[in-house]
Every structure is written in C-alpha cells, then in structure tokens.
Amino acid sequence: MELWTFHRYQQPRLCVDAIDHDGSSPILSLRSGKQTYRLAFDDAAAAAQISAEIASLNDSDSPLWTTLRDSPPGSGWHTLGTFLDTHSLIHEAHDGAAERLALQAKRIEDCIEGTVAAVLEGLPADRQALVAAHAAALRRELDATAETARFFDADRDPFDARVQPNFFLGLLTIEFEYFRRSSPLTLAAVDSLLGRFAGESDNRGGLGTSPILSEACGLYDLRDLEAHLWLVGRCLVSSASEHAARFPTPGIPVLSVSSGLEFMRQTEILTRETLVNWGENPYVTALEALNDSYSPLIAGPFIEQYHVTRRFVEIVAPLLSKRLSVPLRKMMFRYFGEEVGHEELESTTCEAMGVSQCALDQALPLPLHFAFVDALTLVAQVDPIASFAAIMVIEGIFGEPPKMSLRLAAVARKNPAFREISGDHDELNETLNHNSIARDAFEHIAAVSPAAQRRVMHRILFLLELNHRAWQGIAEFYGRQNELWLPGSLGRRLAPQG
C-alpha cells in the first residue's frame, strides 16, 4: 500500500480553532475541539515567528504550503507538515462533492437511456411488448424481495427450472440478489432501467432522490455498473426469445442422506449425463468448422476468460469468512492464494494475439461471462455446499482432460507467440490439481441431507447451463467476425488496441 502524506492534498488548509502564544513562552499551542497540541521551540522569538507563519496556513494559497511540500524529509518544515497531517489538522479545501455526485447521477442516467435505446433498436414490436412485460414483473419482484427479504426459499429458488422455466428471467433474479449484496448502487440503477423498459412513469423520484446514490460517490465501480446494465438489458431481450426456455435435464435421482463424497459422485454422474444430453456446444461446433485456420473465434475465449479470471478470487472470497471446519478453511485459503494474479497469464495470452491491455480495460465482458462470476459469487455467499460442488463447473469434472483448451491450442498452433504461452494457465491448474478440489472438499463433509442435495443439484444444473450458454455467446459474438474487435460500451465495436 502507498503511504499517505500531506503532499497529496490538492488544496490544503490549516484547520484549527486557535493558535495560542503568549509572547514570552517557547511553547506554541494549537487547539482543535477538545484537543490541545503544544509545540516547543528554542526560544520565545522562534515560537512567535512560527506562530505567525502557521497562521498563514489558514489560506490554501499561502506560499508556506509550497515550502512544506518542497521541504526534504527530516527537515523542520517537513516534520511540521507531517505533524499537522497525522493529527488531522489539515483540511482538503478542494471539495467538489455535490458536483461529483451530480456527475455520477448524470453518467448513470445517460447509461440507462443508452442501454434501453441500444438493446431495443431493431427489435420487433411484439418482442418489445414482451420485454416490457418481463421488466414490469421483475420490478414488482424487486419490490417484494426488498419488503420481505425472502430470496432463496425453496418455492422461490430461481436456480430451479420448476420455479422459473425461463432461463434469463431466472438469471436476472439471481443477478438482482447479487446486486443487493454487492452493489446497491447498481440495484438502484437497475430499478430505474426496468422502469424505462416497462414504460412506467417513475413516481419514485428518479435516481436523483435515491439514498444509495447520494450516500457516496466513488464507492462503486461505474464501469462494472455499465456492464451490469448491459447484462440486464441483453437478458431482458433474450428472455423474450424462443431460446429462453431452460435446457432439458435428467431427473434428480432418488436421494437419501449420504456422505459428502457419495453426494459428489452422484453429482458428477448427473453432470456427465446432462452434458451428453445437451450435445456439442455451439462454440466447439464453430471451432471444428475452422479446419485449423486462425480467426477471431480463437481469440474470443481468452479475452472473455481474462474478464472472468481478473474477478475469479471473488468466487472464493466469501468462503474465507465462513466458520468452516479446519481442513475446508485451509483448503479455501490455499485455493484463493493459488488463484491470485492469474489474470496476468490471460492478459499475456491476449497480448500475443494482438489485444492490448488498454483494450481489455475498455472492453465490456460478454453478458453471460460477467454473470457467471456473479452467480458463483452469490452461491458462495449463501450456500457453501453448492459452492464446493460448483468448483467442478469451473475447473472441470475430475478425471476429464481440458478438451476445449487442447482443441484451442491445436487450432492456434500457427501463432508462435500464442503457442509459447497459451498453455501456462491450464498447466498451472493441472499442476495444482484444481479439478480435484470438489472431491477434496466433500471428503471432509460427513453427511449431506436429501434436501440439501436436491437444492445443490438444481444449482449445479443452472450453472452448467449458464456456462454452456456463455460459450455459445462467444461463438455468436466472435464467430461472425472477419477481423477481431471487442465488445465496447453499449454494444459498440472496440478495436484490439483500444
């Protein structure tokens, strides 16, 4: 961390109630509230001179502030400046708090308006009407959840296809709970966004009167807020499409209380059967059609994986605060430590493919890849058992080779820079045995009830579908390109160099 010093004030001003010196004493006193600070000098004359000079610091334009800033460490003036700062006697007079709050509100309002216009552009009237109906229903659900604080009740679990057969409406409900816990500012913006989609008059006073908006400026990331508004808008449109129905899945087997390891075995079987039933992912189909030629379709996964990897530790972090058993706690702390910094591997891979760090920082993640991290983070917050099982969705089923990575590497082998570094992350995960973590965790769980098993299986099936659809999204976005470009703000194209 960087050390704070008084040099970082933009417009410093001394903030004391009084400066006292009686003229004959070598002691100078500074009074602030109930605190009195006494500074001793060589003699009364020196104290009187310093008293007058310190008084000039009440003016931010005083030349003495320049003297303080330019003085070397260890000098008398530098020591004085440090003393004043470490005792909270320097006020930042450059205060544009109200203006910055207003600018934040305007930026969010502009983003809301832009999102609505962009996602509805070219959409037929009948689908726009369905989007409006879904937005209105979701807004009512937001209100009901805020009043009751009931979200994960068994009869309202959006991960369960029987409760919500529309995948995208289920995902949005999950996102809203994530916002409530992790970014209330985004939730306030989403409420307004839903109102615009629904065509409802905003009788709540708009964002300008939202308590969370006026609570703090700079607390929440507005780039993430923009990405989340785009996610919500795109999911609303997709919820009104013919592809919104949940994928068919095998029935949940007859369950009885079992050990964690036996439960994990049954979940692996359910996962394998589900993936076989769904067949080949559209991304794999598109990849095979390349016939080993290079295209933007190859770069897509690495760009999107960068966005996932830079946030990956968020998925593990909620588990670190749980009062887990000692072996599970140690395992999760180790997992967290082994994942920190992996985004550097992904960004290096992207750079080898001609995508700059500047472009990665400006690009918005594809919506379902952004949602993937949100959903896994929320699961870790509310359901540790499901979170342990979900590691299989992230890291792969135990015993299964990383088929997608192997195929990608084969297709891109003509790029020497890519070939040299592309496998680093996969090799690291293999060395660290990350696809064994789910098994390792459940070895330490003595028993899982049938109700918990059923709940977790529903959540795993949802996360599998989210992952499947996210890869499909890569195929649809990058597979249609002849020259690579990244997803930018409000669906605009962003060049690989930013």
The whole-angstrom separation of Cα 80 and Cα 39 is 10
Is it the case that residue 419 has pLDDT exceeding 60? no
The whole-angstrom separation of Cα 167 and Cα 188 is 23
Location of structure tokens 């890569």: 474
Sheet strand arrangement including 27-32: 18-20, 27-32, 35-40
The whole-angstrom separation of Cα 365 and Cα 372 is 11
The whole-angstrom separation of Cα 278 and Cα 244 is 15
Structure confidence at residue 415 as a pLDDT band (50, 70, 90): low
Residue ranges covered by each domain of the chain: 6-92, 97-239, 260-494
Q: What CATH number was assigned to the domain covering residues 260-494?
A: 1.20.910.10
Alpha-carbon distances of 297 from 165, 414, 464, rounded to whole Å: 31, 15, 22
- Residue 266 burial by CB count (10 A; 0-12/13-18/19+): exposed, middle or buried? middle
Contacts of 88 (CB under 8 A, 6+ apart): 15, 32
Q: Are residues 138 and 194 in contact, defined by beta-carbon separation less than 8 angstroms?
A: yes
DSSP letter for 43, please.
Answer: S
Q: What is the dihedral of CA 314, 320, 324, 327, to 10 degrees?
A: 100
Q: Are residues 445 and 259 in contact, defined by beta-carbon separation less than 8 angstroms?
A: yes
pTM of the prediction?
Answer: 0.90
For 82-139, the pLDDT digits (tens) are 999 999 999 999 988 889 888 999 999 999 999 999 999 999 999 999 999 999 999 9
What is the Cα gyration radius of the chain?
28
For 305-344, the pLDDT digits (tens) are 999 999 999 999 999 999 999 999 999 999 999 988 888 8
Structure confidence at residue 270 as a pLDDT band (50, 70, 90): very high
Q: Write the single-letter amino acid at 353.
A: M
DSSP letter for 208, please.
Answer: G
Contacts of 265 (CB under 8 A, 6+ apart): none
